[in-house]
Chain A
Amino acid sequence: MSVTHQNPETRVKERNKSHLRTTLSFWAFMAPALIGLILFMGVPIIWGFLLSLSHAQNTIHFGHFIGIRNYTDLLTDPEFLNSLYTIVIFTLFIVPITFVFSLWLALMVNKVGRGKAFFRTVFFIPTAVSYAAASLIWRMSLFNGTAFGFVNHLTALFGMSPIAWIGTASPPWYWLVLVTVRIWLQVGFYMIIFLAALQEIPHSLYEAAAMDGATGGWQVLRYITLPQLRATSVSILLLCLIAAFQAFDEFYNILGGSGASSGNIGLARPPLVYIYSIALSSQDFGMGAAGGFILTALIVMFTVVQGKLFGFGESREGK
């Protein structure tokens, strides 16, 4: 464009043109992501909320409004309450175990000299495996209830008879199966995050601690390492908690039925499995949607409680 000898009018036009170009560019670049998020986040939230207030049996359309009856029905449904109870217990086990174990692994691996990369890879590699695949191995081989299950083979060496790991309500061995598979799958992932955070702790802090006479690993851990890992710890606890509350894959695949049998899912049916069966098997989409909102409310509640206990993570950490 020529800049010489413009009268004010054309200059205003030029500026408007460039302003228009900026606006158009902005929306053109935003459009695919924005349309997608509106379509697959915004629309489902609203649709789901309206569905949850509707009697929507065998239909995906809302409109036959029944107020909050889906919610009250679910909250008085012993099976659903039982599923909420199940997932709370599961989460209360999974979160602390995963947290402590992954932190401990990170501290150990961090101290290793030779072979550090090897150990890091070995503990991290289960992250590559899907819940479906791991559930299959846990159910059909590792914790197979017959004599050819691997753990039963090991216990047989001590003269014990095979244990039906996922077959009985008491003793509830299936919890061991469900907890170990999730820990194996996710502990390495959190270990990597801790390892990265450990490397960012300034070395001078440890030197200062040594000069101040901090003796033994415990004091250093308590007064230097853990406080420095605070923000990382909070986000790991949060990720772990939200994921645990939405557990589905391992319950469905380890306890689910085969052939004509309904399986052992009755032993421990988490909310998401229950919601899935309400919506997709019983085709009650209204109640299924309501279940999703109740579960989300529970997640928010626990997140807030956890945040009150451990803090929400400081924003100052963001660079």
Chain B
Amino acid sequence: MRARSTQEKIAVVSRYIVLSLLAVIFLLPFYLIVRNALMSDSQITSSHWVWFPVHPHWHNFVSLFHDPDAFMYEGLKNSALIAFGTLILQMLFSSMAGYALARIPMRGSNIIFFLILGTLMIPSAVTFVPTFALMATIGGVNTVWGILTPGVFSAFSIFLFRQFYLRFPDEIEEAGKLDGLGYFGIYWRLLLPNSVSIMMALGILAFVGSWNNFLWPLVIGQDPSAWTVQIVLSTFLTAQTVHLHELFAATAVAVAPLIVIFLFMQRYIMEGAKFSSGKE
């Protein structure tokens, strides 16, 4: 290998310096969450900056879950229900539809496919008011299922499942038919077991989107019993008196599960991110 010129070395070193500085800036908000979540109110508001509390106030988390006005426990429970529900139902329904569009010969299925694609272009700005009206009519206001259901149906997931199943080898399907499998058997026994990677990628994306969603839960869940964890966070800001230590502890609790998911399932999430730009 040829020796690197001084110029190249400088370029490499300066690249590391710039990226490291940026990394510090990008991690700063996480540091602030942890720092403030472990401090008392007076420590947080002190004009003398302390980088880290000598005696961390772990008790903040206890008082957060015991604060009857915070609804932290309900928020977490609702968010978990909604995120897992969205994940499971969206993967099931989208893969079923994707399979039908890709593998079951049917006159007019292309028209249905393009109609489904068309809904991709409808922004939530135009649907959230009438969807609220719809929910008010069918009794979905202030319910967990009312928050959950609209997020289940994703043209985007259906589209990607269809593309995925189009590439599924014909030979395997033929072999299945010879073994006496019908359409349901082929889907259940052959396609689903081979869809784990795409389901992980799209499923995590659906989970994260659902957990972090804000506008729709705000519109539909006005009663504390239907608040998601994001709404709970937001109400800390609108409360009469702001309990800073609980506010930051709540932020830590709301963010932590997703950080864990991201760190452990990074490969799938990056796969999902690529999907969403239209790449396969």
Contacts and interface: CB of A to CB of B under 8 A. Distances in A.
Interface in A37-52: 37, 39-45, 47-48, 51
A140 interface: yes
A292 B279 contact: no
Interface stretch (B54-62, B63-71, B122-130, B193-201): B122-130
A138 to B, nearest CB: 8
Interface string B107-131: 0010010001001001111111111
Interface in A110-146: 111-112, 115, 118-119, 121-134, 136-142, 146
Given A109-B19, A232-B277, A292-B128, A33 B93 contact: yes
A124 to B, nearest CB: 7
A25 B27 contact: no
- On chain B, which size bracket covers the interface? 35 or more
Among B99, B219, B237, B279, chain A packs the most CB atoms within 10 A around the CB of B237
Given A44-B130, A139-B237, A192-B274, A130 B214 contact: yes
B46 to A, nearest CB: 6
B237 A122 contact: no
- On chain A, which size bracket covers the interface? 35 or more
Interface in A86-126: 105, 108-109, 111-112, 115, 118-119, 121-126
Interface string B241-278: 11010011001001100110111001001100110111
Interface in B197-256: 208, 211-212, 214-215, 218-219, 230-231, 233-234, 236-242, 244, 247-248, 251, 254-255
Contacts of B152: 36
A193 B277 contact: yes
A249 to B, nearest CB: 4
B230 A132 contact: yes
Contacts of B212: 129-132
Nearest to A181: B29
A296 B132 CA distance: 18
Interface in A264-282: 271-272, 275-276, 279-280
Contact of B26 (A43, A184, A295): A184
B237 A26 contact: no
Given A60-B133, A137-B251, A112 B16 contact: yes
A179 interface: no
Contact of B251 (A133, A289, A292): A133
A259 to B, nearest CB: 5
B158 A33 contact: yes
Given A37-B116, A137-B251, A153-B49, A112 B15 contact: yes
A21 interface: yes
B32 to A, nearest CB: 5
Given A279-B132, A296-B123, A296-B125, A33 B238 contact: no
Interface string B1-35: 00000000000000110110011001111101100
Interface of B: 15-16, 18-19, 22-23, 26-30, 32-33, 36, 44-47, 49, 92-94, 96-97, 99-101, 104-106, 109, 112, 116, 119, 122-134, 136-137, 149-150, 152-153, 155, 158, 182-184, 187, 208, 211-212, 214-215, 218-219, 230-231, 233-234, 236-242, 244, 247-248, 251, 254-255, 258-259, 261-263, 266, 269-270, 273-274, 276-280
14 contacts: A23-B106, A33-B158, A36-B93, A60-B132, A112-B15, A112-B16, A119-B19, A129-B258, A136-B233, A184-B29, A235-B278, A280-B132, A285-B129, A292-B125
Given A26-B109, A60-B137, A196-B270, 5 more contacts: A140-B248, A285-B133, A289-B129, A295-B123, A296-B122
Interface of A: 21-23, 25-26, 29-30, 32-34, 36-37, 39-45, 47-48, 51, 60-61, 105, 108-109, 111-112, 115, 118-119, 121-134, 136-142, 146-148, 150, 153, 184, 188-189, 192-193, 196-197, 231-232, 235-236, 239, 242, 245-246, 248-249, 252-253, 256-260, 271-272, 275-276, 279-280, 285, 288-289, 291-293, 295-296, 299, 313, 317-319
